[in-house]
Structure 1
Amino acid sequence: MLRIALLFLALLALPLKAATVTNLYQAQVALPDTDRQSEQVARKQALEQVLIKVSGQSNIVENEVVAKALGSSNQYVSQFSYANRDGQRTLLLTFDRSRIRTLLTQANSTFWSEQRPSVLVWLVEDANRSRNIIWDQSNNDLAKLIQTEGDRRGVPVMMPIGDFEDVTAISTPDIWGGFVQPIATASQRYQPQAVLVVRARKQDGEQVALNWQLYSGNVEQLARNQVTPSEGRNSGETVTTVGQMVDSMADILGAKYAVPLGGDASGQLAVVVENIQSSQDFFTLERLITNLTSVAAVNAYRIQGDRVEFTVQLLSTEDVFQRELSQDSRLSAVTAPLGETLESAPQPEGLIRATDASQPASPEADSPADVDVSGTEQLGSDIETKPAKQATVFSWSTTGSSAVAL
């Protein structure tokens, strides 16, 4: 019972996660005709959409390996069906995730996992000399289009709800003027991993001009003016213009969070973390490392006092792993070398386990009912090899923010 209680408390202490995108390997494309050639074109378009979503790169189709693979898209399809969308016959395709991953590896491309930063969009629309903040329930066409395009790129997009707390925290001039402090204050309640500020001017017909800023740090960093925004301008036909803005936003986030493939997958590191004070700290830290996109598997190798040494099997390069790990403000690098060598020490039953991160976690994996440590590997038992290379030593703090732990 004590072990179950410790696990339950540890799960409650887990950091806020980025949103989980569930449709990365699915695409629905228009099917204008019923002939075979039209269907082959639709399958190619669907594969392009999935590769863009999974790689985080809008220009992935320019890769020579990917361009060649698009000519034989059928081999990547795992399931398909026919459907209708807005009265248009469509082809709904699901692609095999392992084959997509292999293709991106062969192309030396990048991979962006299902765990993705949620983006809060502050949108002000200037129409007929009237400027208004667009809230989630406003049924605004521009806002719906931004959300649709975000879904196309696999980026979770949310609009502020516009209740009393929102309208008293921020005003139209705050957003239109790009004033960081009120934007950060009003965004705090939503805990996004990125904030997109959009100023939209409606023009003649179906034309729009967009001026936007993307803050890709957490809200605490934004409030301290520690985030330099990426900026852009797009204008033209509304659907195309919004698509261009969202593509730019997704490419920026993909460059930050997607990991390069084709690195030394056999590489192992010993990662040492100090100041682990409780089982809650341990489980939270282990889950954090496991969820990193660059990590294939994690095993707690040694514990001594408040120090834990993990064996980390990498899917990508050491630099990418170090970058991902350092994005969580609860971890700070220790520049001084360790004063002593870590030695094996007996631990409470069920505390240490090896975790395989090479396969995506199921949505139910975080529930207490699915956690069973009765058969897990104990510290120091049957661990074959110790990694020859030690990464940076980190210190753990529970007072830091976890908003960027992706």
Structure 2
Amino acid sequence: MLKFILGIFVIFPFLASLSASVHAADVSSLDEAAVSIESRATTLRSEGIKQAFEAVILKNSGTQAALINPVVQKQLKSASSLMTQYGYFEDAGELYLKVNFDHKRIIRLLRDAGLPVWGKQRPLTLVWLVINENGEREILSDGAISSSRNTFDSQSTSRAVPLLFPLMDLDDSMKVGVNDVRGRFTDNIANASLRYKANYFLIATIEPQGAVYQYQMGLYPRDKDPQALQMTSLITSSGEAATVEDAVTAIVAATSEYYVGQYAIADSGERNTTKIAFVDVTDIKQLVAIERFLAQLSAIKSASIASIQGQTVEFNLALFGDEADLHRLMSLDPQVGAIESNNQQNLDYSSVEAVEAPQKETQIYYWKGQ
């Protein structure tokens, strides 16, 4: 009997980040997974390696559909050929098999299969969940000790989706109550969410309905569209589940699938290229850091320096997707900041004469580092 280990990917200890700017999370351990295993028998180890392989594929693609892709299924039969090392460890009296895979070959496999690749930059999601576990409705807090929280930890690990939960201290309790979450009073919840600096917040409920559990969820951006009267959910999902654990799994899966659509990038098959520039590059150490950053972005096939003028460095980029994919992905990373283009300002006037369409401006960034 094999099952996925809990807790390798840690749900974020966000107290230290409350004073920081909004940021995504860098997810580590994308090349490894661990499964519990009954013994060190060769047959069980072989099966465990396959399950660990599937877990790593899910982490790096973000979508369940990747597991049934024919190319992935073919590789599954020889999953050990992509393995770099394995080992056993014990935790709470249970034996685990930990497996590491060649990350570059995993990414190449996903590319060959035409699947999206989700890099290590992942959006941070604050979860406002009302659940009825002890005979009364309550908001699941950061300090909660419960089976549902354990399941969130497990799903966060298996899908590599960074999650955090509200403290539900006096500040939170004064702004958000159970009825706010159940009624989806988004203004109250959005206001309370600001202190956590997450990219998105999730509003969800899980409640018993006879022999099953009814769940509902909606995912919202951190900031409201200034032209909108109220916040609109990016996705919604609802349904019935046999257990609380199944409901949590469905909620996290729906969230992950949305993020895959936004931030995971498949090879378009086209030769898309663009240029970007970094300003205020003051030394070689900073330049090397920028080059390393660009090299690991899942949107970029290759990056090379086009020119260096003073403290401005321009890069030529070959892309897997399109420019929108690239800039959306870069907007997640706390190491970079974008400088808005002045192009739009130049268009905000009327003229009786025809005006040539301006050339597309190079997007300018600046390096903030760690």
* Common fold: TM-score over 0.5: yes
1:317-336 to 2 correspondence within 5 Å?
317-319=321-323, 320-321=325-326, 323-324=328-329, 331-332=340-341, 334=343
| Cα offset, 1:238, TM superposition | 2.6
SS of equivalent to 1:29: strand
Partner of 1:393: 361
Unpaired runs of 5+ residues, structure 2, are 1-19, 348-357
CA contact 1:333–1:395 (8 Å) conserved in 2? no
Partner amino acid, structure 2, of 1:310 = E
Distance 1:288 1:35, change over 3 A: closer
| Cα offset, 1:148, TM superposition | 1.9
Q: Distance in 2 between matches of 1:15 and 1:287?
A: 24
Number of residue equivalences:
325
1:220-369 to 2 correspondence within 5 Å?
221=225, 225=230, 227-234=232-239, 235-261=241-267, 263=269, 268-271=273-276, 290=294, 292-295=297-300, 296-297=302-303, 299=305, 301=307, 303=309, 310-319=314-323, 320-321=325-326, 323-324=328-329, 331-332=340-341, 334=343
Is 1:214 aligned to 2:182, yes or no? Answer: no
CA contact 1:289–1:298 (8 Å) conserved in 2? no
Distance 1:75 1:396, change over 3 A: closer
CA contact 1:289–1:325 (8 Å) conserved in 2? no
SS of equivalent to 1:24: coil
CA contact 1:124–1:200 (8 Å) conserved in 2? yes
Q: Distance in 2 between matches of 1:391 and 1:48?
A: 46
CA contact 1:302–1:309 (8 Å) conserved in 2? yes
Is 1:38 aligned to 2:34, yes or no? Answer: no
Q: Superposition RMSD on alpha carbons, in Å? A: 3.7
| Cα offset, 1:220, TM superposition | 5.2
Is 1:22 aligned to 2:31, yes or no? Answer: no
1:331-365 C-alpha deviation (Å, 9 max, x unpaired): 35836999xxxxxxxxxxxxxxxxxxxxxxxxxxx
SS of equivalent to 2:104: helix
CA contact 1:187–1:219 (8 Å) conserved in 2? no
Q: Distance in 1 between matches of 2:197 and 2:105?
A: 34
CA contact 2:276–2:364 (8 Å) conserved in 1? no
1:122-271 to 2 correspondence within 5 Å?
122-127=128-133, 130-202=136-208, 207-215=212-220, 217-219=221-223, 221=225, 225=230, 227-234=232-239, 235-261=241-267, 263=269, 268-271=273-276
CA contact 1:77–1:94 (8 Å) conserved in 2? yes
1:121-159 C-alpha deviation (Å, 9 max, x unpaired): 011113576321121112132123112211111011111
| Cα offset, 1:292, TM superposition | 4.5
Unpaired runs of 5+ residues, structure 1, are 1-13, 339-389
Partner of 2:6: none
Distance 1:287 1:132, change over 3 A: farther
Alignment TM-score, normalising by the size of structure 2: 0.75
SS of equivalent to 2:198: coil
1:4-60 C-alpha deviation (Å, 9 max, x unpaired): xxxxxxxxxx97541111122111112234432222111111100100110111110
SS of equivalent to 1:301: strand
Q: Distance in 2 between matches of 1:236 and 1:330?
A: 49
Distance 1:332 1:147, change over 3 A: farther
CA contact 1:272–1:392 (8 Å) conserved in 2? no
Alignment TM-score, normalising by the size of structure 1: 0.69
